[in-house]
Amino acid sequence: MNIVHVAMIAGAAAMGGFLFGYDSSVINGAVAAIEEHFQVGATETGFTVAAALLGSAVGAAIAGGLADRFGRIRVMQVAAVLFGISAIGSALPFAIWDLALWRVVGGIAIGIASVIAPTYIAEVSPPAYRGRLASLQQLAIVLGIAVSQLVNYALASVAGGSALDQLGPLQAWQWMLGAALVPAVIYFLLTLSIPESPRYLVRVGKTERARRVLNEVEGGDVDERIREIRRALGSEVKPKLSDLRGGRFGLLPIVWIGMALSAFQQLVGINVIFYYSASLWQSVGIQESDSLLLSLFTSIVNIIGTFIAIGLVDRIGRKPLLLTGSIGMAVSLAVTAFAFSHAEVVGEQANLPFMWGAVALTSASAFVLFFALSWGVVTWVLLGEMFPLRIRAAAMAVATATQWIANWLVTITFPALRDWNLTGTYLIYTAFAVLSLLFVWRFISETKGRTLESMGT
């Protein structure tokens, strides 16, 4: 086994995560320009941005079935093509509803990539390194976010300082959205160079190919590993969503656990914690015009936390990281809520005294760090490895679709909750962080060092 070679294979698959992060974030730099260009209000623009989340839920829901029918690599290629089509369509919309349609297409690609990358990486990774290799998915996501912010800043600067400025035949915001075509093409080309999942190959009877891949990525007694995979597969019937049924509440307990894990990752409010980032920076003396600084600071904290998780996930395990993250997030969110109780909130502006602005900025950044070193990474690691092999792709699809639905719910409810009570809103996220701690303590089993085939029901 050559771990560097396996890491390169996992890194190529994680390119889907890069596109996931890039496509999710790139729209942020174009929102104001889109409103001005199409002469629409915040409601229409908000719907257009959120449309990608609904598309992601659809993509996640169908990815498992496609992966089990056509293979992991083929589905990655479908996602790459959809990313490319969405990039071109989003760059050349003739109306706001047309842009929303292409955002849905991109969202479907994001949903597919969010399922297939961690599934594939888990299936080609040796148990001793699986946590670190699966963490590449989250690292790719946060790098994609950071790169999209740099690309947005560079294109706006070259065009003259605004996303509305003309850059050749198109405006800068159109180039921002269209630039996703480049990583989409790279992703497609990378999928041509990596092997199919050995577990999928055994499922469809291509044992010799599976043997070659297992020898390449794991080594050891390959024939015994194939027998182990066959035993884990159980039935030769193709897996389907109905295979997830069972237990007292309609689904197998492990499926409910995966869905709850996915939901908690979003219900702690990670996607709205920095909604008031501009206000926080201004309260400590930084001008809102320094948009690159505002965006990149969060990305850097995210990347640092992700590297911490990569270094620890196979050493101390998944469960201790989640517990640590839940405690850190709960404390950070509670402090942020208390700091916002001293704010004067008017719509999208929250004016804080210098001291409380500094406290809120520090605690919000601490929250991002704790999230990144725990739930940001470990959720993807666990989802890729916790389900029994015979239902893995289908269960992964359901769990990931749950994550996107929770993401959408948090995104659309935040404005109303904010208008109701900003401090109360962050206390709600604090409560979810506390509940996530209790959930992990009671329901999450440690998977460090175990083979995928040993995962029970």
Nearest to 285 by CA among 358, 344, 340, 346: 358
pTM over 0.85: no
DSSP state letters, 60-111? HHHHHHHHHHH-HHHHHHHHHHHHHHHHHHHHS-SSHHHHHHHHHHHHHHHH
Q: Quote the pLDDT of residue 236.
A: 42
- Residue 237: pLDDT band with limits 50, 70, 90: very low
Q: Tell me which of 241-245, 286-290, 330-334, 437-441 is least confident.
A: 286-290
- Residue 229: pLDDT band with limits 50, 70, 90: confident
What's the rounded mean pLDDT across residues 418-424?
83
What's the rounded mean pLDDT across residues 362-372?
93
Q: Is 451 or 398 the better-scoring residue by pLDDT?
A: 398
On average, the pLDDT of the chain sits at 84
What is the spatial distance between Cα 74 and Cα 344, in angstroms, rounded to a whole number? 52
Max mean pLDDT among 256-265, 269-278, 343-352 falls in 256-265
Cα–Cα–Cα angle for 423, 426, 428, rounded to 5 degrees: 110
Taking 80 as the threshold, does the pLDDT of residue 415 lie above it? Answer: no
What is the spatial distance between Cα 303 and Cα 300, in angstroms, rounded to a whole number? 5
pLDDT cut 70: percent of the chain above it: 88
Evaluate whether 432 touches 269 at the Cβ level (below 8 Å). yes
Quick: pLDDT tens for 204-223. Answer: 888 899 888 888 877 777 88
Q: Quote the pLDDT of residue 152.
A: 83
> What length is written for the chain?
457
Q: Quote the pLDDT of residue 451.
A: 64
What is the spatial distance between Cα 427 and Cα 424, in angstroms, rounded to a whole number? 5
| Residues 6 or more apart whose Cβ sits within 8 Å of residue 339 | 352, 356, 357, 359, 360, 363
Per-position b or e across 123-144, b if 16+ CB within 10 A of its CB: bbbebeebbbbbbbbbbbbbbb
User: What type of residue sits at position 224?
Assistant: E
Centroid of chain to Cα 64: 16
Q: Quote the pLDDT of residue 279.
A: 53
Quick: pLDDT tens for 25-63. Answer: 787 777 778 888 888 876 787 778 778 888 988 998 888
* H/E element, 171: strand 170-171
Q: Quote the pLDDT of residue 335.
A: 95
Q: Is 91 or 240 the better-scoring residue by pLDDT?
A: 91
